Amino acid sequence: MDVPHYWTADQVQRLLDALATHNRHQARTAALIMWRTGLRVSEVLELEWRDLSYASDPATLLVRQSKTRKPRTVRLHAELVQLFTNWPANRTARDKVVPVAMRTVLRHIADAVVASGLDDESTGTGKRRPGAHSLRHSAARHWLMVGKVPLNVVSSWLGHASVQVTLRIYLPIVGTDYGVENVP
């Protein structure tokens, strides 16, 4: 069975640091959003400022353009709330949060994975090399293992069609450590 590539919180921080060191600020912002929300890179790049409700409690973002074509709401981590609160105000509601091309973000993240040594340290046996999508898997694993977020909530945040999809993907990562009590 293929195990999706994922990183620990410390490894993700190394990736984010590598992006910052090489002045890849837009790619770093995209990576941080993927890590803290579990969004796919395509979903991050479609986010507009009007989709963010970082002044509300709880702070959320609306994913309008998802793989399943169903909008969903995801909670914003405090790190993202702080980032967006301190963002320069010269923007419109329809401006992209991360106005950069997909291939640029993917290339910069791939370069940072190599620069930070994470290509050799990634846990997983997935078909693809570790990269941008590994941030999504890292977020889900972190929520399940560290945050003890219930599986149905993680499934909803990820935009999966069912809890069974989430379970099939992440059971190889969390294994029996997750605990039956958290499975709905």
Domain range annotation of the chain: 9-182
**pLDDT averaged per 10 residues, the chain (length 184):** 86 96 95 97 95 90 85 93 90 94 96 92 77 94 90 92 89 66 44
Distances (CA, A) of 147 to 23, 50, 51, 89, 150: 31, 28, 25, 33, 9
**What residues contact 56, with CB distance under 8 A and at least 6 apart?**
none
Write down the pLDDT at residue 113: 95
**Residue 144 to residue 150: CA distance in whole angstroms:** 7
**Which candidate, 89, 50, 67, places its Cα nearest to that of 133?**
67
Write down the pLDDT at residue 179: 54
Tell the residue number behind the tokens 């609306």, with chain if given.
62
Q: Was domain 9-182 assigned CATH 3.40.50.300?
A: no
